Amino acid sequence: MIQYTLKCDQDHRFDSWFQSGEAFDKLKAAGMVACAVCGSANVDKAIMAPRVRPARTASAASPETPPSAPTLGTPANDTERAISELKRKIEENSEYVGQNFAQEARAMHEGDSPERAIHGEAKPEEAKKLIEEGVPVLPLPFLSGRKTN
């Protein structure tokens, strides 16, 4: 996994994880990378410094924990707060259809299922196929609120 700092054409910056540099390139080419703030699909990698972890002996000798380090459940900046609010609104106003997302979205597009707001999960190749078929979908910048262990 690799974390990139990304920047859209509106100069919004945000971080995102990808399986590899090649995975980022494929997702961007498929139009599946969008700004977490404004939704723009015109996103590129921003210049960033590499994160190098100090040796364990060095970190044990001089622990550098920031005095006000955010906790895991607390948004640390404006972007995280915006994503958290987006997630809350989507989960309140749409139905979670889980792994059936591609089938449900296609059924609604073809008129076989009533139109409604849905969110769920789809493999990248399923999402690409939906886009090629003209089904209006977009990736969300967060994982669903379903319970995990």
The whole-angstrom separation of Cα 14 and Cα 35 is 8
Residue with tokens 């006000």: 68
Domain coordinates in residue numbering, the chain: 1-49, 94-138
Q: Is the pLDDT of residue 70 over 60?
A: no
Which pLDDT does position 141 carry in this prediction?
82
Closest CA to 95 of 146, 129, 35, 34: 146
Q: Is the pLDDT of residue 149 over 50?
A: no
Q: Is the pLDDT of residue 123 over 60?
A: yes
Candidate ranges 44-48, 49-53, 131-135; pick with highest mean pLDDT: 131-135
pLDDT-derived band at 148 (thresholds 50, 70, 90) equals very low
The whole-angstrom separation of Cα 20 and Cα 23 is 5
Percentage of the chain beyond pLDDT 90 is 30
The model's pTM:
0.49
Q: Is the pLDDT of residue 145 over 70?
A: no
pLDDT in tens, 56-68: 765 555 555 555 5
pLDDT in tens, 85-119: 888 898 899 999 989 999 999 999 999 999 999 99
